[in-house]
Amino acid sequence: MKLLKLSAVVALTCVLSITANAGENKPKRELKNNMMVKTNITPKSVDTIKDAFGKGMFYGRLRMNSFKWDWKNETLGAKGTKDNKAFGLGGSMIYKTAPFMGLSALAGLYYTSSPFSGLREDAADVHYLKAGKDTISREQVKNGGAWSYAVLAQANIEYKYSKTKFKAGRQIFESFLTKSNDTKMIPNTFEGYTIETKELANTRIRAAYFTAQKLRDHTTFHDVITFKDGSGDSWANNDDSAVHKGLTYANFKAAGKDVNHELIVVDARNKSIKNLKVDVTYGAVPDVISSLTGEVNYKIALPNGYSLTPGVRYMKQFDNGGGAVGGASLKGKLVGLTGTQKGYTDAASLDSSIWMARLVLKKGPLKAKIGYSAVEDAADIVAPWRGFPTGGYTRAMGQYNWYANTKTFDIEANYDFDKAGLVPGFSAMARYAIQNFDEAKQAAGVQADSKILHMDFRENFKNGLYAKLRVGLVSADARVGGIDQDSYNEYRFELNYLF
């Protein structure tokens, strides 16, 4: 009965929202092809505190995500693999006040639930979940809790003066290293302070100081890099798929290091030269690790309306003490070792680098790309903040190709059938990636060479409703020893309604 009542409320909300949006030429928010939200309309400045709240704006979102993961070979056991499925139903409500004397506030409440037992794994099998883990809190379910939770993932105040703005509190910060990655039920957010200025012509400079992070499937904010907590719980603190599993609470303690960390990000973007975009990013977890990244993209006009944009990105990673604590491998299997071990040239150092290049061809509804990336044969790249180092160049759905000595070739094509006047609201993307991992590092947990075909099919119904089907087909070599542990097929379907 409660579920029926909730469904009636949701349906009424949809009807009212569709009616309201029908009279507007431009929606408050819309989804880009990668299903990230773009905000078109924000509250205008007001002259009184009363109007700051009275003329604020609500942003609503209803969403559903379903997942099916099919391994070629299951390896059951405590650390094995098993075919798995997941389902999430929920949404968010965000309220932003109108700016008063440059000051505004924002609060975002998010909710996710997996109410249908037939569309999810049993509680005892939640540790087998892969992509679908972000529909629930595995930690909560494991401890006998509910298959749903609500969290205030955003709560901040902002002050803007001229072309500079300062924000404090829980927030989304989209950068090379940090992203909301809001493609499931709840975004990845951070707690701390950010400042952005555009006072210099054609230049944007930003700085962030974060004291905590909340991953998408977490109910609370936690440390930005520490894996496990004092009890050894693997789903506490930062348990991102790309986390460094050697940088544990216990290992930091054993090394006499602090278990509470901060994440610092400083970046700059310049467009002073026509068609040239230059990006520089510095990131650091003090006394653990830091990095400096530069990227250049230059757009070249070609005949017949085409454009070609070459891009290059280089990231240099510096070990500031993390290597001695957790080792050079993200899998945490080099802790306490030194010298050449399990395929790594220096088991106790996180010094490393990665470079990548791409060519992007565009014309009207067509976007095509080829990309290549290569990681130095040193340490793995540490970046568990959902800003994937190879994103936009060679990363395919669900893949982590920034292990040491990994080389990846990627080719991708996007076509907007709506823009071409063929199918209203429809667009599609296909990507094929060839990943060459270092077999010598399989003893440290690195996967086997693989080929990935990744396809997205998207529909914008033009009334706030969006649908997307994602398919990932992964064909991998057998690992050393003759067992194929890395081949699988993955299917995702999602619905979003913005109001």
As a three-state string, the secondary structure of the chain is CHHHHHHHHHHHHHHHHHHHHHCCCCCCEEECCCCCEEECCCCCCECCHHHHHHCCEEEEEEEEEEEEEEECCCECCCCCECCEEEEEEEEEEEEECCCECCEEEEEEEEEEECCCHHHCCCHHHHHHCCHHHHHCCHHHHHCCCCCEEEEEEEEEEEEEECCEEEEEEEECCCCCCECCCCCCCCCCEEEEEEEEECCCCCEEEEEEEEEEEECCCCCCCECCCCECCCCCCCCCECCCCCCCCCCEHHHHHHCCCCCCCCEEEEEEEECCCCCEEEEEEEEEECCCEEEEEEEEEECEECHHHCEEEEEEEEEEEEECCHHHHHCCCCCCCCCCCCCCECCECCCCCCCEEEEEEEEEEEECCEEEEEEEEEECCCCCCCCCCECCCCCCCCCCCCCCCCCCCCEEEEEEEEEECCCCCCCCCEEEEEEEEEEECCHHHHHHCCCCCEEEEEEEEEEECCCCEEEEEEEEEEEECCCCCCCCCCCEEEEEEEEEEEC
Model confidence over 275-290: pLDDT tens digits?
Answer: 999 999 999 999 999 9
| Model confidence, pTM | 0.92
Whole-number Å distance between alpha carbons of 120 and 115: 9
In tens digits, what is the pLDDT along the chain, a chain of 499 residues? 333 333 333 333 343 333 334 334 789 999 988 888 999 999 999 999 999 999 999 999 999 999 999 999 998 776 789 999 999 999 999 999 999 999 999 999 999 999 999 999 999 999 999 999 999 999 999 999 999 999 999 999 999 999 999 999 999 999 999 999 999 999 999 999 999 999 999 999 999 999 999 999 999 999 999 999 999 999 999 999 999 999 999 999 999 999 999 999 999 999 999 999 999 999 999 999 999 999 999 999 999 999 999 999 999 999 999 999 999 999 999 999 999 999 999 999 999 999 999 999 999 999 999 999 999 999 999 999 999 999 999 999 999 999 999 999 999 999 999 999 999 999 999 999 999 999 999 999 999 999 999 999 999 999 999 999 999 999 999 999 899 999 999 999 999 999 9
> At residue 231, what are phi and psi to the nearest 5 degrees?
-90, -5
Half-sphere exposure of 440 (CA within 13 A, CB side): 11
Whole-number Å distance between alpha carbons of 64 and 135: 9
Residue 80 CB neighbours (<10 A)? 12
The CATH number corresponding to 2-498 among 2.40.160.10, 2.60.40.1120, 3.30.1330.60, 3.40.50.1000 equals: 2.40.160.10
Model confidence over 329-365: pLDDT tens digits?
Answer: 999 999 999 999 999 999 999 999 999 999 999 999 9
